[in-house]
């Protein structure tokens, strides 16, 4: 029987690359989205035509009720979630002192609380089955911090802390919990930078270039593979040598 993977924020960018890779790896993939309906429908149509088992599921990961409904829907459709990839996230660029309460809540609710909500719903099925894979997507800035991205950095550092702690709690149940921390990846999030700014950014990266979404997806694929069955609580940087 095929295993089911849920990828949150899977409609575009890194999330879409992860969805494609897990389809290629033989999973049935549930693609979570909230606002990107056109993108998720296009992605799922493309992959379905290619012969893969994939379907969209709408939910706001920052809402515990939405997440409960999402997991119930997936359970009814496939039996449960064997692999959870917490990719949904938003960024914030600006001076720390200009950050409003609303900005703080939006970033932390999606990036950190969303990860918490999904992990909490996934665990009962995984524990009952005696196995499972959770991969959380953090960021290089969650490891070292970034000027003008303090709130984003804090939320992604929280994801790393959650990964390390939960991995110890879930280990005896046969569940691994790991984290991928991408560096600068060439996605839509980089559109706010000019070509000159992107050039300057690349000069700070030892490998001299931005990463590709598929390279992050390859790291996720490794963590959910049979070859990673004795690996848990780890933070894998996909950052071109930045850290």
What are the residue numbers of the active site? 152
* In the block, residue with structure tokens 């270039």: 209
CA 177, CA 133: separation in Å to the nearest integer?
Answer: 6
- The total of other beta-carbon atoms located within 10 Å of residue 206's CB is 10
Task: Give how far Cα 19 sits from Cα of 50, 76, 98, Å.
Answer: 13, 20, 36
Kindly give the interhelix angle for 114-129 and 150-170, rounded to the nearest 10 degrees.
10
Task: Give how far Cα 131 sits from Cα of 73, 87, 162, 165, 170, Å.
Answer: 21, 21, 19, 18, 9
């Amino acid at each position: 029987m095929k295993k089911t993977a849920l990828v949150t924020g899977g409609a575009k960018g890194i999330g879409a690359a992860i969805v494609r890779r897990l389809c290629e790896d033989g999973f049935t993939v549930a693609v979570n989205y909230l606002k990107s309906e056109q993108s998720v429908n296009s992605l799922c149509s493309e992959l379905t035509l290619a012969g893969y088992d994939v379907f969209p599921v709408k939910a706001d990961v920052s809402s515990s009720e939405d997440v409960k409904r999402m997991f119930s829907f997936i359970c009814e459709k496939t039996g449960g979630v064997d692999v959870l990839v917490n990719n949904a996230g938003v960024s914030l660029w600006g001076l720390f002192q200009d950050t409003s309460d609303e900005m703080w809540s939006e970033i932390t609710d999606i990036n950190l609380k969303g990860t918490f909500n999904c992990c909490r719903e996934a665990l009962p099925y995984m524990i009952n089955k005696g196995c499972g894979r959770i991969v959380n997507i953090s960021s290089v800035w969650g490891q070292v911090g970034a000027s003008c991205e303090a709130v984003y950095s804090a939320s992604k550092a929280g994801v790393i802390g959650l990964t390390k702690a939960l991995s110890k709690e879930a280990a005896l149940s046969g569940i691994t919990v790991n984290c991928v921390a991408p560096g600068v990846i060439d996605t839509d999030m980089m559109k706010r930078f000019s070509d000159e700014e992107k050039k300057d950014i690349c000069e700070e990266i030892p490998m001299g270039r931005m990463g590709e979404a598929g390279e992050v997806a390859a790291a996720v694929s490794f963590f959910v593979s049979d070859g990673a069955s004795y690996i848990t609580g780890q933070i894998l940087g996909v950052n071109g040598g930045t850290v």
